[in-house]
Amino acid sequence: MKKIIFLTSILSLMLLVNLAMGSHEANVSLSPTIWGIGREESVKLTVENSEASNHSIIKIELFVPTEEDVSVYEIAPEFEVPLGWEKPRVSYKEGLMSIIFSSESEVGIMPGSTEIFTLASVKAPSKVGEWVWKWVTTDPNNETQEDDITTKTKLGALSYFVIEVPNETKANKEFNASIIGYDEYKNIKTDYTGTINIESTDPKAIFPESINFSLDDKGEKKIIIIYKTPGNQTFTVKDEETGVEKTSDQTFVIPAVPSKLSILINEDESSADKVSVTLSLQAEDAEECRYSNEGITWSEWEAYNTAKDWNLAYGDGTKIVYYQCKNEIGESKVVSDTILLVTMPESEVLSWIVYTGPVALAISLISLGLVLSRTQKRRKEEKS
């Protein structure tokens, strides 16, 4: 009987020694572990004390990831803790931010138990990356256990587009439109590589029917659009794979007749020795143009071009060529250019001078000077 009591006492003593000498086995996790960049979340810190543990866990310290001694997560001082735990303390030491959860007693988290601590507002970094949190748990014997938790920040799935367009534009005038893709966390989706199709309310508009995004675009693409129909116009983009689509704000299209017309006869020569000349032409928003030698009788309307062969009115002297263009909106103002036409040979001019006498000689010399010298050209050019 005495031997049994003695053996029981030895076993009890050994158990007490093991309990005194043993530590704890903790498992700590964070949720979520994957975040949208810049996303604000409520974070759950789950602390499990293994059944094989010999002691309770009475303190947990969570170290926030840092970059260049600055915490990459923004943590608001709002926490929820289990019953029997003190209000957490936030500590800053050597550039490290940590949150310390302490039990009010040595009961803490018993072996085989789990508790959840809540960080009510945590904002993730504004860039993609992997971030390491360090945790340390402590038991009543001041024995510790530590490990790491890795979280990731990434862009979410394509959620919507933003389209930037001008409030108004002129018909037939090109403008730039920006198309920007965003993820579900309201971040520009810089890794977007989808294809979008484009449609417009203007049946005559000029634009790319589809465009492809590449990684070099970083989520933003600019396109050139030309509206032709006056009034409020929009265009719609759609990612066919995801179904995400967006219609632009309205752009008011102002009717625009052809403008900035100019005409030069024989590339700005001051005189010509024959009626056949070449016209150098310029105009904006022109579809068809016509020509005249006196501004009354006109040629037929013909497709706009930048050069045209033309015959001046017969008879030496100053000649004028008139130029006008039109489009579906209306007709432009009339512009013109002049040139001195001299077709009489020099020998005939001298003979005529001798025949007509002194008065005619003076007049003829003046005319001859005009022929042999370059005169100032008169040119009317419509200004925009």
The predicted structure's pLDDT at residue 349:
52
Instruction: Label residue 111 by pLDDT band (50, 70, 90).
Output: very high
Strand order in the sheet with 220-226: 158-164, 174-183, 220-226
The one-letter amino acid code at 287 reads: E
Q: Chain-centre distance of CA 104, in angstroms?
A: 54
Q: Are strands 195-200 and 235-239 parallel, antiparallel or unpaired?
A: antiparallel
CA distances from 312 to 198, 324, 334 (A): 49, 17, 17
Comparing 287 with 10, the larger pLDDT belongs to 287
Q: Which residue is listed with tokens 């040629």?
A: 299
Instruction: Label residue 363 by pLDDT band (50, 70, 90).
Output: low
Which residues contact residue 109 at a Cβ distance below 8 angstroms, ignoring those fewer than 6 apart?
47, 48, 49, 56, 57, 58, 103, 115
For residue 258, give the 3-state DSSP assignment.
Answer: coil
Q: Is the pLDDT of residue 121 over 60?
A: yes
The CATH number corresponding to 158-254 among 2.60.40.10, 3.40.50.300, 3.40.50.10680, 3.40.50.720 equals 2.60.40.10
Contact present, 275 and 339 (Cβ < 8 Å)? no
Mean pLDDT of 228-249: 96
pLDDT tens figures, 128-164: 899 999 999 999 999 999 999 999 999 989 999 999 9
* Residues counted in the chain: 384
Lowest mean pLDDT among 105-114, 340-349, 371-380: 371-380
Q: Is the pLDDT of residue 96 over 90?
A: no
Architecture of domain 21-154: Sandwich (2.60)
Which DSSP state fits 268? Answer: G
d(CA 14, CA 20) in angstroms, rounded, equals 10
Instruction: Label residue 384 by pLDDT band (50, 70, 90).
Output: very low
Contact present, 19 and 111 (Cβ < 8 Å)? no
Which residues contact residue 373 at a Cβ distance below 8 angstroms, ignoring those fewer than 6 apart?
none
For residue 108, give the 3-state DSSP assignment.
Answer: coil
Strand order in the sheet with 276-284: 259-265, 276-284, 307-311
Outline which parts of the chain fall under CATH 2.60.40.680: 21-154
Contact present, 32 and 41 (Cβ < 8 Å)? yes
Which residues contact residue 196 at a Cβ distance below 8 angstroms, ignoring those fewer than 6 apart?
161, 179, 210, 211, 213, 237, 238, 239, 240
Token representation of residue 308:
């045209």
Q: Is the pLDDT of residue 373 over 50?
A: no
d(CA 219, CA 83) in angstroms, rounded, equals 47
* Average pLDDT value over all residues in the chain: 87
What's phi and psi for 27, nearest 5 deg? Answer: -130, 115
- Please state which CATH number belongs to domain 259-380: 2.60.40.10
Token representation of residue 368:
């001859």
Comparing 3 with 268, the larger pLDDT belongs to 268
pLDDT tens figures, 18-69: 444 568 999 999 999 998 898 899 999 999 999 999 999 999 999 999 988 7
For residue 346, give the 3-state DSSP assignment.
Answer: helix
pLDDT tens figures, 171-206: 988 999 999 999 988 889 999 999 999 999 999 999
Residue-wise burial string across 131-169, b where 16 or more C-beta atoms lie within 10 A, e elsewhere: bebebbbbbbeeeebeeebebebbbbebeebebebeeeb
Instruction: Give the number of C-alpha atoms closer than 13 A to the C-alpha of residue 164, restricted to the C-beta side.
Output: 8
What's phi and psi for 170, nearest 5 deg? Answer: -90, 145
Outline which parts of the chain fall under CATH 2.60.40.10: 158-254, 259-380
First vs last C-alpha separation in the chain: 120
Contact present, 47 and 28 (Cβ < 8 Å)? yes
d(CA 227, CA 252) in angstroms, rounded, equals 10
The one-letter amino acid code at 159 reads: S
